[in-house]
Structure 1
Amino acid sequence: MTDSPDLIEITVLDTLDAIAPEDWDACAAPETANGGRPRDPFTTHRFLLALESSRSTGGRSGWTPRHLVARAGGAVIAVMPMYVKAHSQGEYIFDHGWADALERAGGQYYPKLQAAVPFTPATGRRFLTRAGDAAAGIAALTQALVKIAADNGLSSAHVTFCTEAEAIAGEAMGLLRRVTQQYHWLNRGYAGFEDFLADLSSRKRKAIRKERARAQAFGGEIRALTGDQIEPAHWDAVWAFYQDTGGRKWGRPYLTRAAFEAFHATMRDDILLVLAERDGRPVAGALNFIGRDTLYGRYWGCTEDHPFLHFELCYYQAIDWALAQGLARVEAGAQGEHKLARGYLPVATHSLHWIAEPSFRTAVARYLEAERSAVDEEIEVLTGYGPFRRTGSDDQV
């Protein structure tokens, strides 16, 4: 156990290949030491390396790897996935307005430093430390993050989709704390989907049953596949779905075709594919990643339009699978108030920010304080509009 960050050596890696997977994962996913599933797969060595090896990050992607590694006595005690960013794409905690404001004032916002999992709006640890080294590791990583940004004349440094505990700790060390929100489904001890429906108001319950019936009548079969059930040919369909959705939402997909090949090679046990097949051919699908207690919905797409099939594959099938596996929650990705009616409630998400220019930092701090109050109020209001029965309601199943 290390008590002082002064005794810690920091190195910066331009590729995950420069550190042994077991050293990285001892910090990123220590719960896997005895063969267990990672709390979330996104900070594991295999996921981040899949992005690099597939050229989804690095090269001209605008995500240049600069990962932090903290060592004490030669042993790795903490790591952080970090990138130099040439834009704000693929982050999902939006700072485009900050960039515009600084550049209108004559400053230069890009490049900036980003501690994050690329293209992945899923909450998880970003200050990755070995057990027993959390305090020293977090302090060392925070100091290194700020020093690297300052020494290289960068406008800012950001830690996105960190845990609430990390956000509070980072704020205590002088970083700016931001609160945003997205929609998660929470398992309240349900025995199955019908048990979940019984927790909803009569009107919402009936609406979901109708949606599921319409979706499942699309003329084919819905299959949930994981591990060795996933075959290389399935990725051809997933790639077609991803290109269609990515092209419409972002202008160009973030992941390359090679990323899906890397996922198949090293991560198919971490993946749930939900495919709608008609005449033996996939016509729609949803890609999920599996954590220790959470199912993470990531990508959806289709080659045929069928009523409510999106909701069935992305939300209801995810709930079905999570219930069958005893998982505590489903995170269905960023944005989307349509998730509210389907049992996904608003929850706070967190990030940390360091701004170099003092007056700009002051302005951002004022904005974040007002934004936090607005987000807290929005979460309260939206939760009140949720589909769940009110306490004391005589709604019948």
Structure 2
Amino acid sequence: MTDGVTAELLSKVSDISAKQWDALNPQGNPFVSHGFLSALEQSGSVGAGTGWSPSPVIIRDAEGVPAAALPAYLKTHSQGEYVFDHHWADAFHRAGGQYYPKLQIAAPFSPVPGPRLLLRDEAMALPILRAAEAVVDQNGLSSAHATFVEQAELALFREAGWLTRVGTQFHWQNRDYADFESFLGALSSRKRKAIRKERAGAQAAVRIQQIAGADITPEHWDAFWIFYQDTGARKWGTPYLTRAFFDIIGDSMRD
């Protein structure tokens, strides 16, 4: 890099201080926060044996202070991304290439659009993306990918010459509904009746309680873990987050 700026490939997010990493995430997006990403590492949800090897890319200024970062991983499969490229991998292999490992810029296991370029200022977008490209070239990787990039950052990737692939997600939008009844009022009579009937049946045998922060105990996480495992089994998948992950974020990210 030039002008006293240097690029560096780290072995994990926790190699950098939380203060320095989160200074590049002023929006406070939880899925790219130091707390979330380091909890994945500490809990074994990413790392050895998972196919997700933490490989964050950072750029330091002349004083050695991080000016940009990418939450990035060397991937030996395409699981846990919620954007599947198995056909690309198959085509690459049929053409005689080796698709894996690839460099994946992502918030692991979280199909939620958000920032993927953690920047002190927008001028650092091109240098950090060029650093990612250098990681690919220097390590003989097939490609680099960034998934669930928030809309505001897409232009920065395009300006750097990255290709855009477009997918579809279905999002529920809160159109200023004051309460649930306001939401129902926007629906047809038939749909309102069906939803009320389903809710009544679901609530008849349960007690709903909202808890947050320090009120969430290990026993609550044990129950949540059972639900999480069940959801994965119903979707013919394997849950990626370990039980320890929930204890860690319950302590470090309880706010």
- TM-score in same-fold range (> 0.5): yes
The structure that is strand-richer by fraction is 1
* C-alpha displacement of 1:48: 0.3
Asked if 2 retains the 8 angstrom alpha-carbon contact of 1:109 and 1:155, the reply is: yes
Answer yes or no: is the 8 Å Cα contact 2:105–2:146 preserved in 1.
yes
Q: Percent identity?
A: 53
Output aligned runs, 1:316-395, within 5 Å: none
2:102 is aligned to 112
Q: 2:5 aligns with which of 2, 8, 29?
A: 8
1:213-232 equivalent positions in 2, closer than 5 A: 213-217=200-204, 219-232=205-218
State the Cα deviation string for residues 193-214 of structure 1 (Å, max 9, x = none): 1111112222222222121111
**Which deviations, in whole Å up to 9, do the C-alpha atoms of 1:50-103 show, x marking residues without a partner?**
000001001111000110111112222111100000000000111111001111
TM-score norm. by structure 1 comes to 0.61
1:192 to 171, 179, 185: 179
From the superposition, tell whether residues 200 and 18 of structure 1 become closer, same or farther in structure 2 (CA, over 3 Å): same
Q: Does 1:157 align with 2:154?
A: no
The CA deviation string for residues 147-195 of structure 1, in whole angstroms up to 9 with x for no partner, is: 1112211111000001122222211221110111212222222211111
Aligned twin of 2:41: 52
CA shift digits 1:10-49 (9 cap, x unpaired): 1111122211101000102x14xxxxxx3x3110000000
2:55 match: 66
C-alpha root-mean-square deviation of aligned residues, in Å? Answer: 1.6
What CA distance in whole angstroms lies between the structure 2 residues aligned with 1:158 and 1:203? Answer: 44
State the 1:6 CA deviation. 5.1
Does 1:81 pair with 2:71? yes
Distance apart, 1:140 and its partner CA: 1.2
Partner SS for 1:220? coil
Instruction: Give, in whole Å, the separation in 1 of the partners of 2:230 and 2:177.
Output: 35
Which residues of structure 1 form unaligned runs of 5+? 32-37, 270-397
Instruction: Compute the displacement of 1:8 (Å).
Output: 2.2
- The answer to whether structure 1 residue 124 and structure 2 residue 121 are counterparts is no
Cα drift, residue 250 of structure 1: 4.6
Cα deviation code 1:208-235 (max 9, x no counterpart) = 2121111111x22012221122111111
Number of residue pairs aligned between Structure 1 and Structure 2 = 254
Preserved contact between residue 82 and residue 116 of structure 1 (Cα < 8 Å)? yes
Change (3 A) 1:119 1:250: farther
Using the TM superposition, give the Cα deviation of residue 244 of structure 1 relative to its aligned residue in structure 2, in angstroms. Answer: 2.2
Question: Against the structure 1 CA distance between its residues 92 and 5, is the aligned structure 2 distance closer, same or farther, given a 3 Å change threshold?
Answer: farther
Aligned partners of 2:2 and 2:78: how far apart in 1? Answer: 31
